[in-house]
Structure 1
Amino acid sequence: MVNNPYIYTISEITSKIKLILEGNLHNIRVMGEISNLVIPASGHVYLTLKDNYSQIKMVIFRSKANLLRFNLQDGLMIIAHGEISVYEKRGEYQLIADHIEPAGYGELYLAFEQLKEQLRIEGLFSEAHKKPLPMVPNRIGIITSPTGAAVQDILNIITRRFSNIEILIYPVMVQGETAPSDIANAISQMNRLPDTLLPDVLIVGRGGGSIEDLWAFNDERVARAIFDSDIPIISAVGHECDFTIADFVADLRAPTPSAAAELVVKNKRELVERIEVLSIRLRHAIQKDLDLIAHRLKRLKESSALLRADYTVLQYQQRVDEITLALSLSVSNLTKLTLARLETITGKLNTLNPSAILSRGYSITFKLPEETVINNANQVKKEDRIRIHLHKGEVIAEIRDIGEECTQINQV
């Protein structure tokens, strides 16, 4: 006979169990393997967390599930933080989780690998989708923070190599919650510009930082915006050792923002040398074809079959004359076309040459001591020192007066 005479109802004993469990297990971490994962339209997550011997039901409410940076899946080992809750109506207990992290992996690393694999399967990294960069861009778009060192590095290199290339800067946040949507929207907006403003190439990037700082460039929205862009895109995120999802999707990856500027704007001397190399190769190819044709003609003339019959010789000679004339015209036309293309490219380079512009009376004015190019009177104030670069020589001057049509300076 049991000594305790009290008899509990089901509700009473369930309430007592609830009080004991919830009172003692309210700030716990549990590790296990996900199974029976269900995510209904409500957005709440229901699953079973198990090990080799036991299992427990677990719930992640939508407000917490939306904060996850990686995808839950059956078979994934996780560590869940939360509290035990008793569902009195069924007499069941479950774990209410408020934070999840992958066991054995960093949360961001797992999210990175999951998205990388998903986009790879979809073909966003395929070389077949990579667009070539223009040889000489007329207009370059830059999507980055307007206050970071990256934009200054890019501008300095582009101005030094080709100072008259037009540059469009679309300022965005490069880290923080709004950064991914800012960057994706900027890429989309650049692609919608009219032809008169449309860039030939885009540089999208920022300076280095931690994985959290660079995380905007691992966002799916940014990756898909890069893939959908009709304008070729160079990704320039972080330092040489930093890789992001944007790097894999972009048409070209640059290890740093400075390297991106060097890739998109070739040095003028390099362009001239490249044209000369192509010209030499073209001449050699034409000469090789001419030598081969001449050799074949010689063999035809010396053929014993031709020597046996005068009539046959005349027929072949006529055919040889026709071929020779056609080849001569073809080679002449090809040579003229090639020279015309070379003259066009050379003329374009000469037009873009800053020295040629300066020789026509123009000048470039730099604000001292920053050495920034001045193209608006609003950039200077009285008593500012400036350096004026002329066709021959330089002038150091001081601003004495500023107006909308005239800025008075004194030479120093």
Structure 2
Amino acid sequence: MEDKYLSVTALTKYIKKKFDVDQHLNQIWLKGEISNFKHHSRGHMYMTIKDNNASIRAVMFQSQNQSLRFRPENGMKILLSGNISVFESQGQYQLYIQEMQPDGVGALHLAFEQLKEKLSLEGLFDQEYKKSIPKYPNKIAVLTSPTGAAIRDIISTIERRYSIVEILIIPVLVQGKQAINSIVDGISKANQMKSIDLIILGRGGGSLEELWSFNEEAVARAIFKSEIPIISAVGHETDITISDMVSDLRAPTPTAAAELAVPSKIELLETIQKLDKFLSNRLLYRMERAREKLISLENSYVFKYPERLVEEKEQRFDGGVLDKLSKQMQYIITTKKEQYSFLHQHFHHFNPMNQIEKNEEEIYQLMKRLGRANIQQMNNKRKEFTKMLSQLDLLNPTRIMSRGYSITYQENKSILKSVKDTKIDSSIIVRLSDGSLECTIDQIREEDPNE
């Protein structure tokens, strides 16, 4: 009788064999919703696939799930394929997932949105972390395929706009699984070169799959950690990648990246010419105002005889102020003596001489102090006047004319300011630093002062 009874193990193996040989269960396609999702530390994914009326346990081993572009989550509706078998140790049938993709949206689009949300929450797209692009870079590193159209567009555009910049090509893969490490290593290599001012990272257009290397988390973090500013130019204008979002500046195309990286030499030359014209006109204007001011001062007494003015001031100070102070002091002494003499005549017991001598000593000390103060004040005034005299000397028209300038007068002695104020055969006088010239006008040429 005991031979009729099966062990649990034998029954489970029998059932498992039935599942494994059933062609309908070896390859099935299933749709449902993920619940009880768990990503084990060993890499395997465990979950339950359910619909409104039933559920089935499922597992996706690391060898299959490492190729997933997205991250499975509870509540996500999915499409999957795999096979049904029995997990012997628990005697439970389950689904072994081989492939899986989101239901209703592509895996790449979902992976893009998931990574975008993750990096956004970490602040990798925030404007405060964006580095400024140098206006006049000396050396630019270009990270792209050395054989693609993008490199030709970038080089030709930079050479046309700003040929003095140095271009360093760092070849990287821009498509496929190996492109991720290639781009990360290229960014690291550029940052090790301290002479690099700017990095351009990009490639030409392509499908989402072809551009996917620029949507990888490792590439995004390498861009964010770069100490050198990076301009991202991936695909066409409508293509937006994670690399574009994390870079310091996004360009719609590789050609546009080159235009954003360097200034236009034609525009720079035009700006320089405008500034040169403005400065020239401003200088001429200030020189004309200074010349008019000098002419107005030319016949002044101060300008012609500055030394006499100094001597006169000193003489007035020495002869006037000091004499006046001395007379005031002498008057005080005389008045005091008369008062004490009166007191001595009427009051014999009173002896004022001691007080007089004391007052005379005080007055003497006061006069010495006054004399030193006057000398100090006079020295200060002399220094101040000398400084003013030096400044006036800088405005001396003869000194300016010694550098090659001149003043032109008409016959009526008025200053000639414009060619329109004279005519051919008119006489003019050109005054130089060491004399003057009497001239006759043979030819008149008008010029636009703004050119």
Would the TM-score normalized by the shorter structure come out above 0.5?
Answer: yes
Paired position in structure 1 for 2:250: 253
| Deviations 1:70-101 (CA, angstroms, capped at 9, x unpaired) | 11111111112110011233220000111111
**The residue matched to 1:78 in structure 2 has which SS?**
strand
Matches within 5 A, 1:1-400: 10-24=8-22, 25-194=25-194, 198-273=195-270
Q: C-alpha deviations, 1:334-390, integer Å up to 9, x for none?
A: xxxxxxxxxxxxxxxxxxxxxxxxxxxxxxxxxxxxxxxxxxxxxxxxxxxxxxxxx
SS in 2 for 1:155: helix
In structure 2, what residue type is equivalent to 1:23?
Answer: V
Kept in 1: contact 2:142–2:168 (CA 8 A):
yes
3-state SS of paired residue (1:53) = coil
Structure 2 CA distance for partners of 1:228 and 1:212, relative to 1, 3 Å? same
TM-score of the aligned structures, taking structure 1 as reference length:
0.63
Structure 1: how far apart are the matches of 2:134 and 2:100? 46
1:14: how far off? 3.2
The answer to whether the 8 Å contact 2:34/2:75 transfers is yes
Are the structure 2 counterparts of residues 62 and 280 from structure 1 closer, same or farther at C-alpha, using a change threshold of 3 Å?
A: farther
- Mapped partners of 2:41, 2:212: distance in 1: 28
| Residue 66 of structure 1: how far off its partner (Å) | 1.3
Aligned counterparts of 2:111 and 2:145: Cα–Cα separation in 1? 25
CA-CA distance at 1:10 after TM superposition: 4.1
1: CA distance, partners of 2:162 / 2:235? 25
- Structure 2 unmatched runs, 5+: 280-451
AA in 2 matched with 1:132: S
Task: Name the SS for the 2:151 alignment partner.
Answer: helix
Q: Provide the rounded CA distance (Å) in 2 between the counterparts of 1:281 and 1:51.
A: 78
Separation in 2, partners of 1:32, 1:77: 6
1:230 aligned partner, one-letter code:
E
Report the equivalent of 1:326.
Answer: none
Tell me by how many angstroms 1:9 deviates. 5.3
Letter in 2 for 1:74: N
Give the drift of 1:234: 0.5
Higher helix share: 2
Whole-angstrom distance in 2 between the partners of 1:104 and 1:44: 25
What is the Cα deviation at residue 42 of structure 1?
Answer: 1.4
Shift of residue 271, structure 1, vs aligned partner: 2.9
Taking a change above 3 Å as real, the CA distance of residues 278 and 232 of structure 1, as seen in their structure-2 partners, is: farther
Displacement of 1:280? 11
Cα separation, partners in 2 of 1:280 and 1:54, compared to 1, 3 Å: farther
Aligned mates of 2:232, 2:243 — CA distance in 1: 6
Taking the aligned partners of 1:127 and 1:192, their CA distance within structure 2 comes to 25
Contact persistence 2:204–2:254 (CA under 8 A): yes
Amino acid at match of 2:26: H
Q: Report the Cα offset of residue 277 of structure 1.
A: 8.2
Instruction: Tell me the C-alpha RMSD between the 2 structures.
Output: 2.3
SS of the counterpart of 2:236? coil
The Cα shift of 1:17 comes to 2.9
1:51 Cα deviation from its structure 2 partner: 1.1
The code of the aligned residue for 2:72 comes to L
TM-score w.r.t. the length of structure 2 is 0.58
User: 1:274 Cα shift?
Assistant: 5.3
**Deviations, residues 290-336 of structure 1 (Å, cap 9, x unaligned):** xxxxxxxxxxxxxxxxxxxxxxxxxxxxxxxxxxxxxxxxxxxxxxx
- Do the aligned partners of residues 235 and 277 (structure 1) sit closer, same or farther apart at CA in structure 2, a change above 3 Å counting? farther
Quote the Cα distance in structure 1 between the aligned partners of 2:29 and 2:278.
Answer: 70
| 3-state SS in 2 of match to 1:224 | helix
Distance, in Å, in 2 between the alignment partners of 1:281 and 1:175 is 53
- Contact 2:76-2:102 within 8 A present in 1 as well: yes
Aligned residue for 1:137, secondary structure, equals: coil
Q: Which residue of 1 aligns with 2:420?
A: none
SS of equivalent residue, structure 2 residue 26: coil
Task: State the identity as a percent.
Answer: 51
Partner of 1:248, secondary structure, is helix
Q: In structure 1, what is the equivalent of residue 288 of structure 2?
A: none
Amino acid at match of 1:260: A
Give the whole-Å Cα distance in 2 for the aligned partners of 1:95 and 1:156. 57
Q: Kindly state the Cα deviation for residue 281 of structure 1 after the two structures are TM-superposed.
A: 12
Say which one has the larger Rg.
Answer: 2
**What is the distance in 2 between the residues matched to 1:104 and 1:280?**
65
3-state SS of the aligned residue for 1:69? coil
Q: 1:34 to 1:163 in 2, by over 3 A?
A: same
- Report the alpha carbon displacement of residue 68 of structure 1 after superposing the two structures with TM: 1.2
Q: CA deviation at 1:188?
A: 1.3
Are 2:161 and 2:266, in contact at CA under 8 Å, matched by a contact in 1?
A: no
